[in-house]
C-alpha cells in the first residue's frame, strides 16, 4: 500500500545565515518589521519595547524602564485587559498548585526529600506528605524518619502533585493519593514543558499495553500497563507502592514502550504539543510502517511521522 | 617589517580582504545540544564557539554554599578545544587565562540577566571554543547572550560585543588573530537598546587620542551585530511558535489582541 504525504517543513530552520552588508548600507536595507498583522501572535526579543507603562500593567516576562513596558524574554505577547505578559517559548517549568509532575529524588534530608522536577529549584517532598505503609490515617513516627530510604532513595522516580509553595518559590509536593508514588516498569522521556498542555487526565492508557504519565514539567513516564486494582483506601499495599523491582515485562511490551518513547522524542524535536489522541494516531502510523522501535530515529522517518500527523490533524 | 604580514595595504584593505570597518561573516545555529535549556553555535568568521545554558536550576552539591538567598548566581565555564587554537596545547580547568575570561563574561552578564527572579538557583553557561581566529571574548559574549535568550532566561537587553583596534591612525573592527597580535585593541560590549556599555576590556596600550574613535566605531558595530542577532532569534521564535500552533491536534490558536 502506498500513501503520499506532503513535504515536511525544512528541519534546518534552526540555522540562520543571511547576506551581510557593509554597516553603511545596512540601515538602508532594513525592513520595518513593526507592521504586524492583528491575528498573528506578536513576537518579542529581550529588550524590545512592547507598549507604554502609563496605559498598561507589566506581567511576567516584562520589565518597566521609564515610560515603557519592555520584554525580557523571547516569546509571544499575551494581554488580559490591562496586564501585558510575555510567555517565553522555551523555558524551565513554572509550577502551579495542583499540577501533576514527574520527578527524581536527588537528596534525602531530615524529614524531607529533594526532588528534581525540571524547575528552577529542587522541589521538596515532606515525609508527612507521602502515604506511609499501614494505612492512610497512620501518623508518622520517629522510626519512619530513620528509614526514609526504604520509601524513596536517591535516583528514584516518582509522580506527585504540587501542593504549595515556600516563600522562596520552591514547590512542595505530595503523593497522598493512590495514583501517585514511585514509578517503575518503564522509561523516562524529557520534553520541553510547554509541549505538555493541561489535560483532563494526565494518566493515559494506550491500547498497545502502555501507560503514559504526562508530567506538566515536561517529564513523561512511559511504562507497562498496570491493571486497575479497585482497592479502597484500606487496600494500600506498601510493599507494591515502594517496591524497587520491575515486574516481568514481555518483549512485545518492551518494544511498545520504546516505540512510544521514540514517538514522543520525535514529536518533541519538532516542537509538537502532545495529546493523547495524537500519540495514539502516531502509534498507529508507526505500526503501519512496520519498522522496529528505532526506525523512527533513523533518517527521515521522524519528519515523515510529523508530516503524516499534520495531514490527519 | 617586510617579513610581517601587511595588516592594512595602501588600498585600505586588510590581510583577509576586508575594509577597516567591515565585520566578518556571522553565523548562528540554534540546534539543541543534549539536555541544555538554551544553546547556540555562534561564529564570527573562523572563530566558532558553542554555548550551552543550563538553568536556572538547583546548584550542584559542591557549589551550594555559593548560592544567594535573594538572587541566582551565574556560573561560567570556558573550554578551549586543543585543536582549535594556533598552538596545540592542553589547557586544564585551572588555566588562569580561561578563568579570567570566564570571570569577565560573568561580570558582563550579571547586570544584564534578571537574577533577582530566581533566588537560590544557579544559571550555568558552558562555552566550548571550537575554532579560534581572534575575537574570543566577543564571540563568547554574543553566543552567551543568544543562548540565555533561547533558554527563556529574562534579560534586560542583549549584550553585543566586538573587538576594535588601531593600525597607525586607522581604526579597525573585528580583529583576527594576526591583527590582534600586532596592534593595540579593545573589546566593547554594548546593550543596544539603551546604548549602555557593560564591558570595555583593554589588554594592550592604546593611545588616548585614538581611544574615542575606536570606541565609538565598536559601539556602532555592536548595534549592527544586534540587528543580526535579533533577527536570528526572532526567526527561531517564530519557527517554534508556528510549530506549536500548526502542530497536529493543536489547540485552537488563542486569539491575541494587538496592543
pLDDT at A230 over 60: no
Q: Tell me the C-alpha distance between B10 and A310, whole Å.
A: 59
The answer to whether B195 and B235 have CB atoms below 8 angstroms apart is no
According to CATH, the superfamily of the domain at B26-237 is GHMP Kinase, N-terminal domain (3.30.230.70)
List, for residues A191-222, the tens digit of each pLDDT value.
999 999 888 899 999 988 999 999 999 999 99
Instruction: Give B146 or A1, the one with higher predicted confidence.
Output: B146
Choosing among 3.20.20.70, 3.40.50.360, 3.40.605.10, 2.40.50.140, the CATH entry for A100-312 is 2.40.50.140
Instruction: Of A17-31, A179-193, B126-140, give the lowest mean pLDDT range.
Output: A17-31
Q: State if pTM tops 0.80.
A: yes
Q: What burial class does residue B123 get, using C-beta atoms within 10 Å of its C-beta: 0-12 exposed, 13-18 middle, 19+ buried?
A: buried
Instruction: Give A140 or A63, the one with higher predicted confidence.
Output: A63
pLDDT at A62 over 90: yes
Phi-psi region of A126 (alpha: psi -120 to 50; beta: other; left: phi over 0): beta
Instruction: Give A138 or A297, the one with higher predicted confidence.
Output: A297
Mutation target to probe the A interface, by most A beta carbons within 10 A, among B58, B109, B118, B251 is B58
Q: Tell me the C-alpha distance between A228 and A213, whole Å.
A: 15
**Contact B30/A16, CB-based, under 8 Å?**
yes
Place of cell 539603551: B194
Instruction: Of A25-29, A260-264, B44-48, B80-84, give the lowest mean pLDDT range.
Output: A25-29
| pLDDT above 90 as % of chain B | 72
**Contact A20/B228, CB-based, under 8 Å?**
yes
Across residues A276-281, what is the average pLDDT? 88
The answer to whether A72 and A86 have CB atoms below 8 angstroms apart is yes
Residue A297 pLDDT grade (very low, low, confident, very high; cuts 50, 70, 90): confident
| pLDDT above 70 as % of chain A | 82
**Contact B244/A74, CB-based, under 8 Å?**
no
Residues, chain B: 259
List, for residues B94-128, the tens digit of each pLDDT value.
789 999 999 999 999 999 999 999 999 999 999 99
The CA radius of gyration of chain B, in Å to the nearest whole number, is 20
Range(s) within chain A of domains with CATH label 2.40.50.100: 41-89
Quote the pLDDT of residue A253: 93
Residue A30 pLDDT grade (very low, low, confident, very high; cuts 50, 70, 90): very low
List, for residues B24-75, the tens digit of each pLDDT value.
999 999 988 888 999 999 999 999 999 999 989 998 877 778 888 889 999 9
- State which residue of chain A sits closest to B118, comparing Cα positions: A120
Across residues B77-99, what is the average pLDDT? 86
| pLDDT above 70 as % of chain B | 94
Residue B183 pLDDT grade (very low, low, confident, very high; cuts 50, 70, 90): very high
Starting at the edge strand found earlier in the chain, the sheet holding B160-167 runs B170-173, B160-167, B185-191, B196-202
Range(s) within chain A of domains with CATH label 2.40.50.140: 100-312
Q: Tell me the C-alpha distance between B254 and B64, whole Å.
A: 41
Is A41-89 a domain of CATH 1.20.1280.260? no
Helices and strands (H, E) in chain B, number of each type:
4, 9
Cell numbers at B178, concatenated: 594576526
**Contact B120/A121, CB-based, under 8 Å?**
yes
Residue B88, number of CB atoms within 10 A of its CB: 9
Please list the residues that pair with A126 across neighbouring strands.
A112
Quote the pLDDT of residue A15: 55
Quote the pLDDT of residue A13: 46
> Which residues of chain B have a CB within 8 Å of the CB of A310?
246-248
Nearest partner of B214 among B184, B194, B192, B190, judged by Cα: B184
The answer to whether B103 and B141 have CB atoms below 8 angstroms apart is no
Q: Tell me the C-alpha distance between A126 and A136, whole Å.
A: 15
**Tell me, what DSSP letter sits at residue A217?**
T
| pLDDT, mean over chain B | 89
Across residues A24-40, what is the average pLDDT? 46
A137: preceding bond cis by omega (within 30 degrees): no
Cell numbers at B54, concatenated: 543550563
List, for residues A107-118, the tens digit of each pLDDT value.
999 999 999 999
Q: Is A149 helix (H, G, I), strand (E, B) or coil?
A: helix
Quote the pLDDT of residue B147: 97
- State which residue of chain B sits closest to A70, comparing Cα positions: B156
**Nearest CA distance, B117 vs chain A (angstrom):** 10
Cell numbers at B87, concatenated: 598552538
**Contact A197/B251, CB-based, under 8 Å?**
yes
Quote the pLDDT of residue A177: 87
Question: To 10 degrees, what angle do helices A251-269 and A276-289 make?
Answer: 110
Question: To 10 degrees, what angle do helices B96-109 and B136-150 make?
Answer: 50
**Nearest CA distance, B148 vs chain A (angstrom):** 9
Q: What does the domain layout of chain B look like in residue ranges?
A: 26-237
Quote the pLDDT of residue B22: 93
Q: Is B201 helix (H, G, I), strand (E, B) or coil?
A: strand
Give me the total of CB pairs closer than 8 Å, taking one residue from chain A and one from chain B.
Answer: 201
- What lies within 8 Å, CB to CB, of A19 at 6+ separation is none
β-pairing verdict for A112-116 and A123-126: antiparallel
**Tell me, what DSSP letter sits at residue A247?**
P
Q: Tell me the C-alpha distance between A69 and A79, whole Å.
A: 13
**Nearest CA distance, A234 vs chain B (angstrom):** 38
pLDDT at A3 over 60: no
What phi, psi does B119 have (nearest 5°)?
-65, 145
CA A27 and chain centroid, separation: 42
**Contact B233/A74, CB-based, under 8 Å?**
yes
User: CA angle, A214 as apex, A209 and A217 as ends, to 5°?
Assistant: 155
List, for residues B186-205, the tens digit of each pLDDT value.
999 999 999 999 999 999 99
**Contact B151/A270, CB-based, under 8 Å?**
no
**Contact B154/A63, CB-based, under 8 Å?**
yes
Residue B255 pLDDT grade (very low, low, confident, very high; cuts 50, 70, 90): very low
Cell numbers at A22, concatenated: 557593509
Quote the pLDDT of residue A226: 83
ipTM summary value? 0.86
Q: What burial class does residue A30 get, using C-beta atoms within 10 Å of its C-beta: 0-12 exposed, 13-18 middle, 19+ buried?
A: exposed
Instruction: Give B244 or A101, the one with higher predicted confidence.
Output: A101
B56: preceding bond cis by omega (within 30 degrees): yes
Across residues A6-22, what is the average pLDDT? 47
Quote the pLDDT of residue B256: 36
Instruction: Of A36-45, A107-116, A169-178, B176-185, give the lowest mean pLDDT range.
Output: A36-45
List, for residues A136-172, the tens digit of each pLDDT value.
667 777 888 898 999 999 999 999 999 999 988 899 9
Nearest partner of A220 among A246, A191, A182, A244, judged by Cα: A191
Quote the pLDDT of residue A135: 66
N- to C-terminal Cα distance for chain A?
A: 21
pLDDT at A33 over 70: no
Please list the residues that pair with B8 across neighbouring strands.
B14
Point out the residue among B244, B249, B258 whose CB comes nearest to the CB of A275: B249
Amino acid at each position: 500500500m502506498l500513501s503520499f504525504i506532503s513535504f515536511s517543513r525544512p528541519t534546518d530552520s534552526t540555522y540562520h545565515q543571511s547576506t551581510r552588508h557593509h554597516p553603511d548600507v545596512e540601515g538602508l536595507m532594513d525592513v520595518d518589521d513593526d507592521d504586524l498583522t492583528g491575528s498573528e501572535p506578536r513576537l518579542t526579543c529581550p529588550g524590545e519595547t512592547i507598549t507604554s507603562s502609563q496605559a498598561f500593567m507589566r506581567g511576567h516576562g516584562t520589565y518597566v524602564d521609564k515610560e515603557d513596558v519592555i520584554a525580557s524574554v523571547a516569546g509571544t505577547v499575551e494581554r488580559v485587559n490591562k496586564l501585558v505578559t510575555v510567555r517565553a517559548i522555551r523555558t524551565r517549568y513554572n509550577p502551579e498548585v495542583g499540577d501533576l509532575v514527574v520527578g527524581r529524588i536527588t537528596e534525602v534530608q531530615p524529614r524531607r526529600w529533594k526532588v528534581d522536577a525540571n524547575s528552577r529549584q529542587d522541589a521538596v517532598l515532606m515525609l508527612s506528605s507521602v502515604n506511609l505503609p499501614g494505612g492512610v490515617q497512620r501518623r508518622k513516627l520517629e522510626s519512619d524518619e530513620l528509614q526514609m530510604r526504604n520509601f524513596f532513595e536517591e535516583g528514584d522516580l516518582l509522580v506527585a502533585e504540587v501542593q504549595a509553595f515556600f516563600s522562596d518559590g520552591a514547590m512542595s509536593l505530595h503523593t497522598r493519593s493512590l495514583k501517585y508514588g514511585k514509578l517503575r516498569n518503564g522509561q523516562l522521556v524529557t520534553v520541553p514543558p510547554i509541549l505538555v498542555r493541561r489535560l483532563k487526565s494526565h494518566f493515559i492508557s494506550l491500547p498497545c499495553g502502555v501507560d503514559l504519565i504526562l508530567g506538566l514539567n515536561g517529564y513523561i513516564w512511559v511504562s507497562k500497563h498496570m491493571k486497575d486494582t479497585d482497592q479502597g483506601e484500606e487496600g494500600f499495599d506498601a510493599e507494591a507502592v515502594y517496591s524497587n523491582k520491575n515486574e516481568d515485562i514481555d518483549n512485545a511490551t518492551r518494544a511498545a514502550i520504546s516505540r512510544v518513547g521514540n514517538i514522543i522524542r520525535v514529536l518533541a524535536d519538532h516542537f509538537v504539543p502532545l495529546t493523547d489522541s495524537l500519540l495514539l494516531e502516531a502509534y498507529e502510523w508507526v505500526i503501519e510502517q512496520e519498522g522496529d522501535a528505532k526506525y523512527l530515529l533513523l533518517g527521515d522517518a521522524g519528519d515523515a511521522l510529523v508530516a503524516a500527523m499534520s495531514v490527519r490533524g | 617589517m617586510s617579513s610581517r604580514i601587511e595588516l592594512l595595504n595602501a588600498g585600505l584593505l586588510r590581510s583577509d580582504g576586508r575594509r577597516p570597518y567591515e565585520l566578518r561573516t556571522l553565523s548562528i545555529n540554534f540546534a539543541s545540544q543534549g539536555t541544555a535549556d538554551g544553546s547556540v553555535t555562534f561564529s564570527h568568521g573562523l572563530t566558532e564557539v558553542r554555548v550551552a545554558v543550563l538553568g536556572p536550576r538547583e546548584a550542584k552539591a559542591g557549589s551550594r554554599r555559593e548560592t544567594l538567598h535573594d538572587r541566582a548566581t551565574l556560573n561560567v565555564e570556558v573550554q578551549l578545544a586543543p585543536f582549535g587554537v594556533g598552538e596545540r596545547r592542553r589547557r586544564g580547568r585551572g588555566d588562569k587565562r580561561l578563568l579570567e575570561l570566564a570571570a569577565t563574561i560573568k561580570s558582563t552578564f550579571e547586570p544584564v540577566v534578571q537574577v533577582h527572579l530566581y533566588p537560590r538557583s544557579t544559571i550555568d553557561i558552558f562555552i566550548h571554543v571550537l575554532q579560534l581566529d581572534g575575537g574570543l571574548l566577543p564571540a563568547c559574549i554574543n553566543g552567551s547572550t543568544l543562548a540565555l535568550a533561547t533558554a527563556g532566561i529574562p534579560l534586560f537587553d542583549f549584550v553585543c560585543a566586538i573587538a576594535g583596534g588601531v593600525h597607525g591612525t586607522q581604526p579597525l573592527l573585528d580583529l583576527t588573530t594576526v591583527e590582534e597580535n600586532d596592534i593595540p585593541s579593545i573589546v566593547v560590549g554594548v546593550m543596544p537598546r539603551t546604548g549602555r556599555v557593560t564591558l570595555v576590556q583593554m589588554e594592550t596600550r592604546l593611545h588616548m587620542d585614538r581611544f574615542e574613535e575606536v570606541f565609538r566605531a565598536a559601539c556602532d558595530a555592536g548595534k549592527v551585530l544586534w540587528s543580526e542577532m535579533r533577527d536570528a532569534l526572532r526567526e527561531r521564535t517564530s519557527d517554534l511558535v508556528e510549530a506549536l500552533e500548526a502542530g497536529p491536534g493543536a489547540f485552537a490558536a488563542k486569539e491575541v489582541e494587538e496592543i
